[in-house]
A and B are shown apart, each in its own frame.
Chain A
Amino acid sequence: MGSRLGVVQALIEDPETDPPERRPRFRIVVIPERCKECGLCIHVCPKNVLEKGTEANARGYRYPVPARPEDCVGCRLCEFNCPDFAIYVVPVR
């Protein structure tokens, strides 16, 4: 799931085979090395898209994982409530 300096992205399922209603419409990008594991993004998400991660960054913080990207409605609340510029949401084209 991404190198230390890389970016964790929600897995984008296969547009060829997945039924359209299950295809993620948004990509949730986590920048692991900026995260401090405060948990605010997980807490504010109205659709329960994010989960506490198990992998730690170099400082020992376990960054969140977009576990259910297909449920994301693109409200960007995780992005707006992250104190660390560590998560953002972009539409999938």
Chain B
Amino acid sequence: MDINVKSDDLSEMENAFNDSIQAGKVIEPKDWMPEKYRKQLLRMMSQHAHSEVVGMLPEGNWITRAPSLARKAILIAKVQDEAGHGLYIYSAAETLGMDRSEMIDQLLAGKAKYSSIFNYPTLTWADIGAIGWLVDGAAIVNQTVLAKCSYGPYSRAMLRICREENFHNKQGYQILAYLMRGTLEQKEMAQDAMNRWWWPSLMMFGPSDKESPNSADLLKWKVKLFTNDDLRQRFIDRTVEQAQAIGLKVPDDKLKWNEETRHYDFGEINWDEFFQVINGNGPCNKLRLKQRNDAHSNGQWVRDAAKAYAEKKKVN
């Protein structure tokens, strides 16, 4: 029967595809790929791009209030990089066959997901330090691995991004390091930011793989190369000593170096909170969506002007 033959062919193609990935082949846009691979990548990449874009909002909140001209200039450059990251990833995602405008419409309509971390508020200047150090630090751990993933355009975008992230990470760490050398009030401000951002940063790696439904496929296709738990552990191991070096306390009573595993043991993550935030009930979900929509409609005149100018030139 015809239909069976077709599905046999399909599974044969899929096996060949899986084998080629195991052999280290990098997939390019025009290569044949299973529909599920395309869909999963598109989901991941569009969410990643949205996160870069929404991620500008909590930091943008402090550009006008950064404590010095140098800090303002640095923060503007950092936020501009995030806009760039969004554009690299949208551009890479478009190679999978969806227009950027469609992805953006999904975001503006509140139908798309982005990293839950950006639904937390930036209450003090120290939060900008904590974001650069912890949030961008977690992103670095994720993105360094994604740079070796099986989809060519995504991996190339990640390479470009990784080159820029270290600046983000270091400027954040420096903000906190300076505060920790300051007055008692400044130290408390830094510690308060650490207390609020530590756990949400650990959640950025996603739930344990036992509970994330797509992990097995993504690992098989080398879209993911390590489990969420592995990457979280890597982040913790690297970050704890940096915290100690400037006198910040990690807000986790169970945190302890384990001589046997050569890793830090750590306490239980509040996954209820994570799912609350993911499902729209975080402290800033509604605000972010409104800010993003406002930014988009406030930019309408720029798009109109550029289009009118291009048309005018065509006529002449």
Do A and B come together as binding partners?
no
- Give B contacts to A, CB under 8 Å: none
**Residues of A in contact with B (beta carbons under 8 Å apart):** none
